[in-house]
Structure 1
Amino acid sequence: MNSNDWIILKTIAEELSITKAAERLFISQPSLTYRLNKLEKEFNTKILFRHSNGVIFTPQGEHLLKYSKDMITQLNQIKQDLVDMDDAFDGTLRLGVSTTFAKYNMAPIIKAFKDRYPNANIEFFTGASTMELSEKKIGEDIDIIIRRGDIEWTGKKHILTEEPYGIITNHSFEFSDLASMSWILDDSATITKSESEFLKWWDEAVKLQRPSKIIRVNSIETCIQLSSHGLGWTVVPKIHTTGKRNLCFTPIIWPNGDMMTQKTVMLYKEELLKFKLAETFINFILDEFSNKQYNIDHI
């Protein structure tokens, strides 16, 4: 078993399909199947079962998969250690960034950092905070995560922004009007628990019958488009109204005067700070946001 086999098992686990894993690894399906058969002979055990919807790992396969992931992490760490011994900025810093944060903030930050440190090598991918930017990925595929929504995390965590949630319509309104209008609700609100938090606020602050006319969609952009055309109202963080002057944004305020807010946090393991590129980038990000008015006082 070698590093190529580690990558093969990890990729199959992510795709749950021999065909898709082969395509992603740019090898033929027969070649991948042959390598799996060799591994099963080497360890004298069945690694996975194939079924109509893909594959499933056996308990023995799960054990080998865990070993493979651990070895990939260790190998990446050794490579990074060796790079940093020679030149702090020859290494690669891997970022996982919220799609929303990337859309509104990431490009100027990376541009400014690269202008200051032209030899720095940074890779990043974007994804949904809840589904694709799990804290479990830190150290395995990603060095630093910048995601929307606060979570429990035992490593280092910094709050970069905190912005208000608000009700969006294309006209002014009274809260009593909302119950008779359509609530345009993004499906992710259930996952992020913002739907339940909003309903709790509604019960405590508005104290009227809960909205019953609900249109469920699968993106915040759709919520905003429907609201901007007068087809109902929606609840989103303020950043999504950037550049949309035809919308009315009404912050959601709890009876005690606090605002309902959305945080953007940066997460990483403390040991990452021993690498100069990582430490430099983290300090750069923190300085960038401490100098900007990205908080609930500026709505």
Structure 2
Amino acid sequence: MDSRDWEVLKLIDEEKSLTKTAQRLYISQPALTYRLNKLEKEFNVALLNRYSSGVTFTPQGEYLLKYAKEMLEQLELVKKSVQNLDDVLYGKVRIGVSTVYAKFRLAHILKEFTEHFPEVEVELHTGSSTLELPEMLRTGVVDLIIKRGNMEWNEGRHIIFEEPKGIITSKPVCFETLLSEPWIQDQSSVITESDKLFFEWWTEKFGVMPKPKIMGVNSIEACMEMISQGLGWTFLPKIHVRNRKNLSFYPLVWQSGVPIIQPTVLLYRKQLLEKPAIKKFIDYILMDCSEL
């Protein structure tokens, strides 16, 4: 019994007539009868009750008909799966992201990506944008990184969003007294080029190099908590005051009127675009940033 036999039984059930079934199969009725006789001989049972008005299935025939319909449905599913095999994405994507991006943006992207491509394995690393993420990318620990701030990189690069950078404090900003309070810094990383923008801005605005008192903490979360308690201020992007109603953000603007901006960039090696899973994930990141 094969798929052709399954189709014969299904059509007989629909037509209740051997003549009409033969017509739909584009064969002669004797050829159809011969095939049915072979099938009955194979199972050693009668499959049909033959009447002048047509045919019906015997109990044994009904059982084989049920099996034939199930197998035809299964065969159709197999055909579709094989035809769509190229659309099923496999592989592994190793991602390095800043803790801030992981906290505020990445979760919903990963959720959507893994729902659409469940066969792709995602390996996630978080770390400092200044030290750890660039090293992961250069040494091949990850396929791509999403970091805050620019860096020298001659391969694939996209700015996925930009945000204003300024003073974050729990008090009204007064520049006459600001430097008398501690600048609370996340010293899980070194002073960045982005941090140095504050010194340049202050010098441009007031004509002297600032000498802030610096208090170091070991994480952004600790930094924000210290500021929430009124222990000082910091110079960070606006995203850090999200969901913190007791903190205020004061954007810093150059004398030219251009605000100080911090970019978040996506960096990768261009040759990795040949890997479908990595290319598709990059497409998801870029699609997300286009909606911001």
Decide: shared fold, TM above 0.5: yes
Local SS of the residue matching 1:185: strand
Partner of 1:148: 148
CA distance in 1: counterparts of 2:157 and 2:219, whole angstroms: 27
Q: Is the 8 A contact 1:93 1:278 kept in 2?
A: yes
Deviates more, 1:224-233 or 1:247-256: 224-233
Q: How does 1:61-210 map to 2 (within 5 A)?
A: 89-134=89-134, 137-138=137-138, 140-187=140-187, 190-207=190-207, 210=210
CA distance in 2: counterparts of 1:165 and 1:116, whole angstroms: 35
CA distance in 2: counterparts of 1:198 and 1:114, whole angstroms: 40
Q: Is the 8 A contact 1:139 1:269 kept in 2?
A: no
Local SS of the residue matching 1:97: strand
Q: Is the 8 A contact 1:179 1:209 kept in 2?
A: no
CA distance in 2: counterparts of 1:153 and 1:202, whole angstroms: 29
Q: CA deviation at 1:200?
A: 1.0
Partner of 2:260: 260
Unaligned 5+ segments in structure 1 are: 1-84, 293-299
Q: Deviations over 1:71-92 (max 9, x none)?
A: xxxxxxxxxxxxxx98862211
Partner of 1:17: none
Partner of 2:220: 220
Local SS of the residue matching 2:191: helix
Q: Is the 8 A contact 2:137 2:144 kept in 1?
A: no
Q: Is the 8 A contact 1:97 1:126 kept in 2?
A: yes
Unaligned 5+ segments in structure 2 are: 1-84
Q: Deviations over 1:47-71 (max 9, x none)?
A: xxxxxxxxxxxxxxxxxxxxxxxxx
Q: Is the 8 A contact 2:194 2:262 kept in 1?
A: no
Q: CA deviation at 1:203?
A: 0.7
CA distance in 1: counterparts of 2:174 and 2:162, whole angstroms: 26
CA distance in 1: counterparts of 2:127 and 2:159, whole angstroms: 19
Local SS of the residue matching 2:158: strand
TM-score, with structure 1 as normaliser: 0.64
Q: Quickly say closer, same or farther: Cα 1:136–1:118, change in 2 above 3 A.
A: closer
Q: Quickly say closer, same or farther: Cα 1:265–1:99, change in 2 above 3 A.
A: same
Deviates more, 1:273-282 or 1:130-139: 130-139
Q: Is the 8 A contact 2:136 2:142 kept in 1?
A: no
Q: Deviations over 1:224-269 (max 9, x none)?
A: 2121111121111111111001101101111111122221111111
CA distance in 2: counterparts of 1:157 and 1:138, whole angstroms: 14
CA distance in 1: counterparts of 2:119 and 2:212, whole angstroms: 56
Local SS of the residue matching 1:215: strand
Greater gyration radius: 2
CA distance in 2: counterparts of 1:266 and 1:104, whole angstroms: 16
Query: How many aligned residue pairs are there?
Result: 208
Partner of 2:291: 291
Q: CA deviation at 1:121?
A: 2.0
Q: CA deviation at 1:209?
A: 6.4
Q: Is the 8 A contact 1:189 1:195 kept in 2?
A: no
Q: Give the fraction of aligned pairs with identical amino acids, expressed as a percent.
A: 43
Q: Is the 8 A contact 2:186 2:223 kept in 1?
A: yes
Partner of 1:244: 244
Q: CA deviation at 1:188?
A: 5.3
Give 2:230's aligned amino acid: G
Q: Deviations over 1:31-56 (max 9, x none)?
A: xxxxxxxxxxxxxxxxxxxxxxxxxx
TM-score, with structure 2 as normaliser: 0.65
Q: Is the 8 A contact 1:190 1:196 kept in 2?
A: no
Partner of 1:52: none
Q: Quickly say closer, same or farther: Cα 1:207–1:225, change in 2 above 3 A.
A: farther
CA distance in 2: counterparts of 1:128 and 1:248, whole angstroms: 25
CA root-mean-square deviation: 2.3
